[in-house]
Amino acid sequence: MENYQILLAVIIAVVAVGYFFHKAEQRADDEEGKHPATSSVSADAKSFQANNANNEEVSPKTSKNNQTLIKSILTQLNCQYQDGEDDDFWFTFQGENFNVTYDKESSWIRIVDMQWFDCPLEELEKISYMQKAINLCNSRQCCTACYFVDTDKGTFRVYSKCDILISADFPAPEQYFHTWLMQLFRLKHDIVLQYDKERTKETITNN
């Protein structure tokens, strides 16, 4: 496994552990609230904690749903974005066009790196090279490249995507989101390199 894949696995593991620890603490707090008589915290200590809480700023992560969380992340990443029509946002990052779809009922989101390759359906060799490159790279990467045939416009098109969990409870969710964007860039880069290899290999064979 390459170094960047190991790094991504570590990041995902850290996020998951942090998330589950946070949930465990929340459950413990809920249980304590249900049984106040068993709490070891004195009334004076509780009063002190309450006063402190009132004086502290509310964490920006509290009570964020996926919509506001994604808006916050895109803003922190200096992305130009606009609302879509179906629980999604369109945004640009490093000159590339993306779409992110969120689920109001869960923490799942889908990030799509919009169409980045196309060719006429008549160019069968290019389509063959790209299909081989996609199939090979998909087996090695965390993200997925997809191709489809647009019969109306007579073109073969390629885009890529990843489906991930994200939550305001994650440590540094904006860095986690950024990591996946970089994985989409890496996938595209690797596919283009493999595409060139397939084309070169075919040229050598024919000669």
Q: Express each pLDDT in 48-85 by its tens digit.
A: 344 444 444 433 443 468 899 999 999 999 999 999 98
Same-domain check for residues 71 and 52: no
Angle in degrees, 0-180, between the axes of helices 173-206 and 3-34, rounded to the nearest 10: 150
Tokens 């552990």 — which residue?
Answer: 17
Same-domain check for residues 112 and 193: yes
User: For residue 41, how many other CB atoms are within 10 A of its CB?
Assistant: 11
Same-domain check for residues 103 and 199: yes
Same-domain check for residues 156 and 104: yes
Q: What pLDDT sits at residue 183? A: 97
Same-domain check for residues 104 and 166: yes
Q: Express each pLDDT in 93-120 by its tens digit.
A: 999 999 999 998 889 999 999 999 999 9
CA pair distance 71, 82, nearest whole angstrom? 9
Single out the residue of 179, 5, 185, 186 nearest to residue 77, CA to CA. Answer: 179
Between residues 37 and 147, which one has the greater pLDDT?
147
Q: Please, what sign has the CA dihedral across residues 78, 161, 110, 10?
A: negative
Same-domain check for residues 43 and 77: no
Number of domains the chain is built from? 2
Q: Of the candidates 39, 56, 73, which is a domain's last residue?
A: 56
**Is the pTM higher than 0.85?**
no
Same-domain check for residues 25 and 90: no
Same-domain check for residues 171 and 193: yes
CA pair distance 150, 168, nearest whole angstrom? 38
Q: Which domain holds residue 33?
A: 1-56
Same-domain check for residues 16 and 109: no
Q: What pLDDT sits at residue 205? A: 72
Q: What is the CA angle 136-139-142, rounded to 5? A: 125
Cα separations in angstroms, 16 against 32, 150, 168, 169, 194: 24, 39, 12, 10, 33
Same-domain check for residues 94 and 190: yes
CA pair distance 88, 59, nearest whole angstrom? 25
Q: Which residues contact 199 (CB under 8 A, 6 or more apart)?
A: 125, 126, 129
pLDDT at 9 over 70: no
Same-domain check for residues 151 and 189: yes
Q: What pLDDT sits at residue 2? A: 52
Q: Express each pLDDT in 134-152 by its tens digit.
A: 999 999 999 999 999 999 9
CATH code at 140? 3.30.1460.10
